[in-house]
Amino acid sequence: MPLSSISGYNRLNKKTKYSAAGIAAAGAAAVAFALVPGGNADAKTTAKDLPAKPVAFTSQKVDSKAQQEILLKQAALTSKQAQAEAAQKKAAEAAAAKKAAAEAAAKKEAAAKKAAAAQAAKERAAKEAASRAAARAKLAAAKKTYPNNLDGWIRESLDIMKKHNIPGTYNGIYKNVIRESGGNPRAINNWDINAQNGVPSKGLLQVILPTFQTYHVKGTPFDQYDPVANIVAACNYAADRYGSIDNVNGPY
């Protein structure tokens, strides 16, 4: 083989190249000398005349037991890794299931709270509506209207008398009103003894001013000619003196 074909030879310096060449030459001479016994070259001696010796190759026996142990260890490691991965996957699935259950429970609780709040709001609205209705009814009762005539005046007087526990009936009031004034709220008596004393009887039930002032009922106009105020004051006086306007059957 030419020295120039040796890998890296061309990169060697000149001194190194000379050394390598000398070593190669010496090696070749040694081989040639070994082929010629005694150092004498025999032209008749050839390579085929040399005894053939088998070349011995050393082969390493594979230790099957050690290899088996390695394979078993690898299988055990693979199995352990697989088990670890399976356990990790199972733990992840359990965590996901737990999270899903917690989220479902939270949603259910939120829905329950929302439903309870809606029910409470509904009940509160119903209660407020009932309260408003009651207030309207109370207001309507407080603002009860009566016709502006004898019937209306008597009915309104009876409602006021009821609040103040003054006895009397519609018929008892009506018969005395007709007898005293004929139903005229502006009626006045200018000829009897009261008139002569300067306190004439006035109104539906012909009440004099001192009596009106004494038995006037709070909440009614302070006016003798007011039909309701006149009736209520007269009935209050009659209750005090006769027990009830119903017991009055003549001048009082």
Within 10 angstroms of residue 234's Cβ, the number of other Cβ atoms is 27
H or E element, residue 208: none
pLDDT tens, N- to C-terminus, the chain (252 residues)? 444 444 444 444 444 444 444 444 444 444 343 444 444 444 444 444 444 545 444 444 557 888 888 888 888 889 889 999 999 999 999 999 999 999 999 999 999 999 999 999 999 999 999 999 988 877 776 678 999 999 999 999 999 999 999 999 999 999 999 999 999 999 999 999 999 999 999 999 999 999 999 999 999 999 999 999 999 999 999 999 999 999 999 877
Q: Dihedral through CA 232, CA 235, CA 239, CA 240, nearest 10?
A: 70
* Of 23, 28, 26, nearest in space to 12 by CA: 23
pTM above 0.95, yes or no: no
- Measuring CA to CA, how many Å separate 210 from each of 167, 199, 215, 240, 242? 21, 8, 9, 15, 18
> In which region does residue 54 sit, left (phi positive, over 0), alpha (psi from -120 to 50) or beta (all else)?
beta
The domains of the chain are located at 3-43, 67-143, 150-247
Residue 113 identity (one-letter amino acid): K
